[in-house]
Amino acid sequence: MTTQIDALVIGAGFAGLYQLHSLRDRLGLSATVLEAGGDLGGTWYWNRYPGARCDSESHAYRYFFSRELNEEWEWSERYPGPPEILKYLGRVAEKFDLRRDIRFGCRVVSAHYDKAANRWVVETDAGDRYVVTYLVAAVGCLSSANVPDIPGLADFGGKWYHTGKWPHEGVDLAGKRVGLIGTGSTGIQAAPVIAQTAAHLKVFQRTPTYSVPARNAPLTPEFKRWVRENHAEIRAIAESTPNGHAFRIAKRNVADVTPEERQAIYEAAWETGGLQFRATFHDLMIDQAANDTAAAFLKGRILATVRDPKTARALADIDHPYAAKRPPIDTGYFETFNRDNVELVDLRVDPIESIAPLGIRTKSAEHALDVIVFATGYDAMTGPLLSIDIRGRGARSLREDWCAGPNTYLGLQVPGYPNFFTITGPGSPSVLTNMPVAIEQHVEWITECIDHMRRNGIDTIEPDPEAARKWGAHINELADATLLSKAKHSWYYGANVPGKPRVFMPYAGGMARYRSLCTDVAARGYDGFLLKRRDGHEVAAARGGGTGNFGVERGPGI
């Protein structure tokens, strides 16, 4: 079956839903969303592991584009869990009548650009074809599960699961001996909940991590009222902060206060809980000495919480600056190690060698297990795009073009792939922000760009290769200006996937700065992009491939 439409969107998460609404209802285009999952939700459709919960606070974890939607929707907890987020997205789909243009259970396997027709030919795993003018990837940054290639997994006699593909019917862990591999944001959320039902839990830790209590709680009627009455202000803060959250980063530096004041500030932030801990000082992410004070405070908390000294030391022996890797927040993670049925396996001392039929074999022990839970993360940012056979001009493939790392301009487009847009793609702030805020900005930029093209008779847009080159250099320059560059083993660098190029992927200059750069680029006639009419006539010269003068502010980019 071949369907001809104006626009195709891949993915029905936060990004895909809003992109469909924008293209169809604002621009009047014919548009369809193809979604591999059985329903909408994107990452929240798949991530239903025990303890899964959003790390962003609910009052800013939402779309802001519709005042009416904001006024009718009320979150129940400080951090929303998957069922409530799915309910919210369901309400969005209902309100804007989106489901009629979404095909579920439909995995896109290839997207090839046909230069002669100036169309994208997209094929699904069911063999359906879509011929479209605009192609938008709303595939998410963390949707390609990373299951490590540990020898023997196929022979494991028990059950194993990746947290990102958790069975929707749930997994009964009662009475089971569970091994949890991975102590990133996911493992730290899952461990306390698994420990409550499993007979025994072994947490296999390769790299210890900082964590701050989330302090989730039901929202009070007063707070709900405050949210209802202050949407505009919440939006204004979220859109003007570097990380898209609705809290401001303090202007003071660590050295501006006495050690006693600093301790009091950290203690107050610890009590408040959540990602706001990063906002205590302006220089936490750019000054090693400043960061050391936060790191020392957080390590001290681990040592004070965990009763067994050996376990406490293994958990607190953290080798990177605080928040140089994505900082988790937790509900009783370190306390979990005080339970009789929980044990830490320090893989730096005793690495995993293989998986045996009865469990995990480390260098010096056999760990008998009924269930293995892989909280081992994702082939982040590039993985979801490269899982599709995407081919641009001259049949060049994205997999080949990105073999040394992603190459984009503004994280929005790829040179040689006309009319192909990525929402929160590599090279954009994406994972360093509160995602819906980044998503909304991208969707609106893409929508305005397509509108501009149609109003001005422009057939194709793609980045000038030189502008993309400068942008790539800028991404690295920004990471190097922060302490993010001190955790080269993070997934921000692709280091968690063997063979993946070690390149810093997200834009670390902050969402607010990025937003103004994108607005400015559009206002200058899409500077750095090549815009052409069908006859090949160039509409707006690339003006030397973009100014390349993006500016680096030594400020907290995340």
Q: Which is nearer to ligand NAP, 181 or 481 (CB)?
A: 181
What span, in angstroms and rounded, lies between the C-alpha atoms of 462 and 444?
17
Q: Which of 32, 144, 186, 293 binds ligand NAP (CB under 6 A)?
A: 186
In this complex, which beta carbon is closest to ligand NAP, that of residue 378 or of residue 504? Answer: 378
Q: Does 206 bind ligand NAP (CB under 6 A)?
A: yes
Q: Which is nearer to ligand NAP, 18 or 79 (CB)?
A: 79
Structure token pair of residue 67: 């005042």
Longest dimension (CA), the chain: 73
Among the listed residues 102, 294, 352, 355, the single contact to ligand NAP using CB under 6 A: 352
In the complex, least distance from residue 205 CB atom to ligand NAP, rounded to whole angstroms: 7
137 within 8 A of 385, measured Cβ to Cβ = yes
For 548, the 3-state DSSP assignment is coil
Binding to ligand NAP in span 245-284, by CB under 6 A? none
In whole angstroms, how close is the CB of 485 to ligand NAP at the nearest point?
Answer: 16
Does residue 431 belong to the site contacting ligand NAP (CB under 6 A)? yes
Laid out side by side, the sheet with 538-540 consists of 460-463, 529-532, 538-540
- How many Cβ atoms are within 10 Å of 345's Cβ, its own excluded? 21
Print the binding letters for residues 314-333 with ligand NAP: x by CB under 6 A, - otherwise. ------------x-------
CB of 243 to ligand NAP, least distance (A): 12
CB of 280 to ligand NAP, least distance (A): 20
Q: Which residues contact 521 (CB under 8 A, 6 or more apart)?
A: 410, 527, 528, 529, 546
Cα separation, 245 vs 250, whole angstroms: 13
* Cβ proximity to ligand NAP, 207 vs 407, nearer residue: 207
Q: Which of 82, 187, 528, 545 binds ligand NAP (CB under 6 A)?
A: 187
Indicate which single residue of 70, 143, 183, 211 sits in contact with ligand NAP (rule: CB under 6 A): 183
The Cα-based distances of 455 to 27, 120, 452, 459, 533 in angstroms read: 11, 21, 5, 11, 12
Is residue 184 within the footprint of ligand NAP (CB under 6 A)?
yes
How far is the CA of 393 from the CAs of 110, 251, 396, 407, 417, in angstroms? 14, 47, 6, 15, 6
134: CB partners within 8 A, 6+ apart: 6, 7, 8, 23, 29, 120, 419, 421, 450
In the bound complex, what is the minimum distance in angstroms from residue 399's beta carbon to ligand NAP? 22
Applying CB under 6 A, which part among 3-11, 81-89, 199-207, 298-306 lies near ligand NAP? 199-207
**Shortest distance, position 493 Cβ to ligand NAP, whole Å:** 11
Compute, in degrees rounded to 10, the torsion defined by CA atoms 21, 26, 31, 37. Answer: -10
User: Nearer Cβ to ligand NAP, position 86 or 552?
Assistant: 86
Nearer to ligand NAP, 165 or 543 (CB): 165
Residue 469 buriedness (CB in 10 A; 0-12 / 13-18 / 19+) = middle
Least Cβ distance, residue 230 to ligand NAP (angstroms):
23
Q: Which of 42, 182, 192, 545 binds ligand NAP (CB under 6 A)?
A: 182
Spatial distance between the Cα atoms of 1 and 34, rounded to a whole number of angstroms: 14
Q: What is the 3-state secondary structure (H, E, C) of 411-478?
A: CCECCCCCCEEECCCCCCCHHHCCHHHHHHHHHHHHHHHHHHHHHCCCCEEEECHHHHHHHHHHHHHH
Distance of closest approach, residue 146 Cβ to ligand NAP, in angstroms: 7
- Mark residues 473-512: x for contact with ligand NAP by CB under 6 A, - for none: ------------------x----x----------------
Q: Which of residues 40-79 bind ligand NAP (CB under 6 A)?
A: 53-55
Question: SS3 helix, strand, coil % of the chain, rounded to 5?
Answer: 35, 20, 45
- Cβ closer to ligand NAP: 190 or 530? 190
Task: Provide, rounded to whole angstroms, the least separation between the CB of residue 145 and ligand NAP.
Answer: 9
Residue listed under structure tokens 């000082």? 281
Residues forming contacts to ligand NAP in the complex (CB under 6 A) are 53-55, 142, 148, 181-187, 189, 204, 206-207, 326, 347, 352, 375-378, 431, 491, 496
